[in-house]
Amino acid sequence: MKKIILIILISFNILYFEKVTANTNEKLYEKIDLFGEVLEKIKQEYVDEIEQADVMDSAINGVLQSLDPYSAYMSPELFKSMQTESKGEFGGLGIEIGMEAGVVKVIAPISDTPADKAGIKAGDYIVRINNTQVQGKSLMEAVKLMRGPVGSSIELTIRRKNVKKPLIFKIQRQIIEVKSVEAKILGKKNDIGYVKLKSFNENSDKQFISNIKKFEKEKKLIGYIIDLRNNPGGLLTQAITITDFFLDQGEIVSTKGRNITETRKFFARSGDGVKGKPVIVLINNGSASASEIFAGALKDHKRAIILGENSYGKGSVQSVIPLRNGGGIRLTISKYYLPSGKSISEVGVSPDITIKENDSQSENNEDNQLNYAVKLFQS
């Protein structure tokens, strides 16, 4: 009797699964038919004649951008141009950008680049590039518009929070060569190590650790200030290596994706490179991705005081995937999680001590966040 009941239950589950799958497929086909109908109406009724292939590209990109601000479609032409690595041929501005509600948003200007020197800030919205309206463009199309010959000029129209009128910046494109680490000694007694990390590129860990070890060997320091403000991130491997330098044990970060290969945990190896000296980490709205891994891990392990403003909240990993037509897609394949288990995505890392950055016109442009960190050590 039990066998009969079991067979009936299995048969019911199979029939139910097949029914759900059939209903799902039916709805999908209905939507595909609806899309075809809309495309035909556009072709017949729209005020201007349109190229249907371009409409399809926009539709594909719309699907990807509906997923998150970092996924995007690249046509074959755009994909090829994005892969160009001819040194000296193309120049850039030095900004990391993303999408928000169909608008291009500045994640962070990279320090000492044309965008940073011109006054572009994290959180700015780019609404126009030269005479081209940006809204409706894909992220990759916006990037392409900003690239051009070295020495050529570009005009960006910016919308900034709490500023009523649009701001216009004229910037000259340059080859962006980022020296990712700057280091110096601060404090009245010259006993505080200051290291500014501008990005997490291929050689950042070597530069960073080399500077710290030099300080440890030559100076009697009471602690370190690590400045990650306007650091848009970079390589996960670099974030892990640099974070590991300050931790003696414990989890640094984990990644979770649909594929098992994208679900991993990374742990610190034994040994604290500064032997437990106090650390203050400076962050702001332009600190993203790898910066948030570093700050979040040290915060969760109570290894550092985090000072400044809430970070950007880019806690995801993108992969560039080639397509059969010669184009490609930039697709989010996993998300970062801090040792506490919290996701960085859309949330960011909150500071232990919130110090708002001075307005650019106030107090002689003094760096109040850095000054506060120095006073903490001296007190």
Structure tokens at 356: 């708002």
Written as one string, the DSSP assignment of 154-223 is EEEEEE-TT--S-EEEEEE-B------EEEEEETTTT-EEEEEE--B-TTHHHHHHHHHHHHHHH---SE
**Planar angle of CA 302, 379, 305, nearest 5 degrees:** 20
Which segments of 302-354 are extended strands (E)?
A: 305-308, 316-322, 328-337, 353-354
Q: CB neighbours (10 Å) of residue 327? A: 18
- Cβ atoms of residues 138 and 145 within 8 Å: no
- Cβ atoms of residues 310 and 285 within 8 Å: yes
For residue 237, CA distances in Å to 203, 285, 306, 321, 332 come to: 11, 22, 22, 20, 17
Output b/e per residue, 245-284; b: 16+ Cβ within 10 A. Answer: bbbeeebbbbbebeeeeeeeebebeeebbbeeebbbbbbb
Structure tokens at 230: 């306007």
- Cβ atoms of residues 315 and 338 within 8 Å: no
- Tell me the β-bridge partners of 233: none
- Cβ atoms of residues 299 and 350 within 8 Å: no
Encoded amino acid at 150, one letter? V
For residue 70, which phi and psi values (nearest 5 degrees)? -110, -10
Identify the helix (H) or strand (E) that includes residue 31. helix 2-45
- Tell me the β-bridge partners of 133: 128
Catalytic (active-site) positions: 289, 300, 314
Pairing of strands 251-256, 264-267: antiparallel
